[in-house]
Amino acid sequence: MAAAPLLGDSAAGKIKDDHLIDCNDKGSYYVNARVNNISLSDYLNQSDPTSTLYKLLPKDVLFQEASPGSYVSMIQETRFRCGGIAIGVQFSHMAMDGVAVASFLKTWAKVANNSVEAAHVLPYFDAVSVFPHYDEFPREAMLSSNKLSMRLGKVVTKRFMFEPSSLELLKAKATSSSVENPTRVEVVSALLCKSMKGIRVSEENKPMALIVSVNLRTRANPPFPECSMGNIVWPTTAILPNENEMKSLVESIRGTIRKIDSEYVKNIQGRGGFVKLSNQMSKELGNGKSLEHVACTSWCNFGLYDVDFGWGKPLWVSCVGAEGNSKTPYFNSIVLMDAKMEKGIEAWVYMDEDELSLMEKDEDLLAYASINASPLKHGL
């Protein structure tokens, strides 16, 4: 394939241990598959294609930590009966976060199209010099931080589709003197948390904390390149107010995210910066048992609907559901994706089955969102 040089240069290698990747230049794990009994449009028009999306990935083991010897990048090309193609990708979070994966895919598409621009886009591996590894920091603390944000459990997945018109109504509802121009990500995050707070069956009635993954690249001064490899994100925690109203929730979410500014990023750089981060993490760990955590990450504005390998732009860009997996670390979590329709959002929610079934009946939520709508129904 035309993209082979890029795959070999920036995503080759295997995981050696918890901290090291063996860059052996042997390329990525690449699989060709065929689906002979259904067309791509029929597949996408199923009542719920979410539950079988994992079959379009090169490995059926999802949501588990990569083990030594695992590939850093794995790709499956699936051709349907009609000639339509699905590209399923899995990358180790040790090497790439969502922004890095998006940059990789966009550059790969440019290479496949023999774009001159692609020759000037190279992966940037200098993040380790800006955020150096700190050997004295105990690995157990990092593992504990992961447990703080997401607990293991058997979950199901639902997609909530928000059309642009609904998002404008939500923004109007959430506007306040403190937040005069709420974003679509802020209002969707707030509405989903509002629903989760309203249907929780926990008898402990813990306050809810929303853990938001913040991209540090755009908040640095000067900004780090989009093609910076690594996990250049940081989870910040918004303790949501007891008042379960959109305005209050949006104010809390925005205030927490905006604390991660250029000065914050500057302070956590260098050897001393990791110590500051670990101290902050310890504070959050200390309060962890008294909070109900929900994790939220946004893949909006990544430009994934512009990825064109020469066959045209994608009909659908999606996550993968948790069905078929007995345990996943995505318990009580939200992933926000751009919808095919401009300025729309797909919210992927991973929750306990009983709680999510209650959420599906939330009239306030359903006034703005549709559930598991066909990807071909919107924006085509």
Question: In 3-state terms, what secondary structure has residue 353?
Answer: helix
Contacts of 321 (CB under 8 A, 6+ apart): 50, 51, 53, 54, 156, 157, 348
Query: Which of 26-30, 222-226, 274-278, 300-304 comes out lowest in average pLDDT?
Result: 274-278
- Dist CA 121 CA 111 (whole Å): 10
| Residues in Cβ contact with 148 at an 8 Å cutoff, skipping those fewer than 6 apart | 284, 285, 288, 293
Using one digit for the tens of pLDDT, what is the confidence trace for 58-80? Answer: 875 555 566 666 778 889 999 99
Res 136 pLDDT > 80: no
One DSSP character per residue, 133-154 reads --TTS-HHHHHHHHHHH---B-
pLDDT in tens, 241-261: 988 899 999 999 999 999 999
Give pLDDT, residue 272. Answer: 73
Highest mean pLDDT among 23-37, 205-219, 294-308: 294-308
How far is the C-alpha of 63 from the C-alpha of 330, rounded, in Å?
8
How many beta carbons lie within 10 A of that of residue 210, not counting itself?
A: 25
Contact 378, 161 (CB under 8 A): yes
Q: How many angstroms separate the first and last alpha carbons of the chain?
A: 29
Mean pLDDT for the stretch of residues 232-244: 89
Handedness of CA 131, 133, 138, 142 (dihedral sign): positive
Higher-pLDDT residue of 148, 113: 113
Choice between 241 and 151, residue whose per-residue pLDDT is larger: 241
d(CA 216, CA 231): 9
Beta bridge partners of 201: none
Higher pLDDT, 65 or 293: 293
Residue linked to tokens 């002979």 = 36
Q: Please tell me which residue, 329 or 50, carries the higher pLDDT value.
A: 50
Model pLDDT for residues 11-39, shown as the tens digit of each residue: 567 776 666 777 767 667 888 999 999 99
- Best CA proximity match to 258, nearest among 192, 209, 208, 212: 212
Predicted local confidence at residue 83, as pLDDT? 93
Strands laid side by side in the 85-91 sheet:
29-35, 73-80, 85-91
- What secondary structure letter does DSSP report for 224? P
**Taking the CB of residue 226, how many other CB atoms lie within 10 A of it?**
18
Q: Show which residues are catalytic.
A: 93, 308
Q: How high does pLDDT run on average in the chain?
A: 81
From the CB of residue 95, how many other CB atoms can be counted at a distance below 10 Å? 23
